[in-house]
Amino acid sequence: MNPPLLEVNSLRTYFNTPAGLSRAVDGVSFALLPGETMAIVGESGSGKSITALSIMQLVPEPAGFIESGTIQFNGKDLLDLTWEQMRSIRGRQISMIFQEPMTSLNPVFTIGFQIREAMLTHGKYRGDAATARAHSLLERVGMNSPDKVLRQYPHELSGGMRQRVMIAIALANEPQLLLADEPTTALDVTIQAQILTLLRDLQRDTGMSMLLITHDLGIVSQVADKVAVMYAGQIVEQAPTRDLLSNPHHPYTQGLIASLPSRSRRGNALFTLEGVVPPPTRWPGGCRFHDRCSKRMEICNTQMPSTTSQGEYRSVRCHLYPSAEAVTSQEPTR
């Protein structure tokens, strides 16, 4: 089997805040194979974006810092690299797109300038080659008149078109890994579907790996090979997408699936998960999900469950699934 392209191990990313230490990402481990797409799903505040920013080493400083863990990319720990070395990986081997493309595009430069600039920074394409590539990238992301778009400014484009431009910029240097953080959340539903299809097609054409971050479990089946469900700074369940959707193990995953609006119910979910993700300065003791869990047992109030494997491709962090083969046995209990 291929070695993973990306392997995150026991990642902890914390913030010093006026309210105390915020353990936003608190022991996250996963691996992504070359050409694989993994979705990270979870409610707002569960630590998804900070996980992606940690990989890019763009955690807001000085409040935020990577407390411990490793982030192996092509077998090398990104956390050992210098700032310069990391800068040359960013935008070249690893690219990232965000929810709101307007904040990533510079309002005073044309689209053409910004796509060429992304290529020049890394020196892979120059001059006429860069212009030609900018043109073909815009075609590839579904722009009808690439020539016109090259001369336009960000505010002249719709939200969906701007996100396509951001995808073109992200792909300009043929990255091996694309981190897509809620790339469709700000868009209309029809445009969302188009952008997801585009991302899936581009991933297949280029063979890159993709980490798709979303709060919407409903969109993962279209794109992701596997899913990691995050809750309160931890991954509580990981499984191939089909297995996770048809047979969720963790009560939190079950709750997320039950609250999906289904077509037969005309868009209304029958079930809503009560409560919210607690603040990361005050994670609950025991299982962090215990106060919202419909299957809570006595032990859940006091002991944090460890992550146990469920066969080769699945794992779950829940006392309902005890196992001799605990994957992470040295977890603190709080």
Q: Which one of residues 49, 95, 173, 192 is an interface residue with Mg ion (CB under 5 A)?
A: 49
- Smaller CB separation from ligand ADP, 92 or 288: 288
| Residue 125 binding: pick among ligand ADP, Mg ion, none (C-beta 5-8 Å cut-off by kind) | none
Residues 229/252, Cβ–Cβ less than 8 Å: yes
- Smaller CB separation from ligand ADP, 117 or 216: 216
Least distance in Å: CB of 50 to Mg ion? Answer: 8
Angle subtended at Cα 178 by Cα 173 and Cα 180, rounded to the nearest 5 degrees: 130
Report which of 101, 112, 108 is spatially closest to residue 137, judged by C-alpha positions: 112
CB count within 10 Å of CB 323 equals: 13
Least distance in Å: CB of 209 to ligand ADP? Answer: 20
Least distance in Å: CB of 207 to ligand ADP? Answer: 27
Three-class secondary structure of residue 20 per DSSP: strand
DSSP run (H or E) holding 201: helix 189-206
Where do we find the tokens 């212009």?
A: 131
Least distance in Å: CB of 48 to Mg ion? Answer: 5
Report which of 118, 6, 22 is spatially closest to residue 73, judged by C-alpha positions: 6
Which pair of structure tokens corresponds to residue 134? 């900018």
| Residue 30 binding: pick among ligand ADP, Mg ion, none (C-beta 5-8 Å cut-off by kind) | none
| Residue 269 binding: pick among ligand ADP, Mg ion, none (C-beta 5-8 Å cut-off by kind) | none
| Residue 47 binding: pick among ligand ADP, Mg ion, none (C-beta 5-8 Å cut-off by kind) | ligand ADP
- Distance, in Å, from the CA atom of 111 to the CA atom of 134, rounded to the nearest integer, reads 9
Q: What is the dihedral of CA 321, 326, 327, 330, to 10 degrees?
A: 120
- Smaller CB separation from ligand ADP, 89 or 235: 235
- Distance, in Å, from the CA atom of 82 to the CA atom of 267, rounded to the nearest integer, reads 49
Least distance in Å: CB of 135 to ligand ADP? Answer: 34
- Distance, in Å, from the CA atom of 246 to the CA atom of 317, rounded to the nearest integer, reads 18
Least distance in Å: CB of 153 to ligand ADP? Answer: 29
Q: At what angle do helices 127-140 and 159-171 cross, to 10 degrees?
A: 130
- Smaller CB separation from ligand ADP, 26 or 143: 26
| Residue 50 binding: pick among Mg ion, ligand ADP, none (C-beta 5-8 Å cut-off by kind) | ligand ADP
| Residue 285 binding: pick among ligand ADP, Mg ion, none (C-beta 5-8 Å cut-off by kind) | none
- Which region among 12-20, 31-39, 45-53, 62-70 touches Mg ion (by CB under 5 A)? 45-53
- Smaller CB separation from ligand ADP, 115 or 181: 181
Least distance in Å: CB of 169 to Mg ion? Answer: 20
Residues 33/222, Cβ–Cβ less than 8 Å: no
Count the residues of the shown chain that bind Mg ion, applying the rule CB under 5 A. 1
Three-class secondary structure of residue 249 per DSSP: coil
User: Which residues of the shown chain bind ligand ADP in the complex (CB under 6 A)?
Assistant: 15, 17, 22, 24, 42, 44-50, 60, 63-64, 279-280
- Smaller CB separation from ligand ADP, 143 or 182: 182
Which pair of structure tokens corresponds to residue 303? 């002991």
- Smaller CB separation from Mg ion, 182 or 225: 182
Buried b or exposed e, range 183-193, using 16+ CB within 10 angstroms: bbebbeeebbe
Residue numbers at the binding site for Mg ion (CB under 5 A): 49
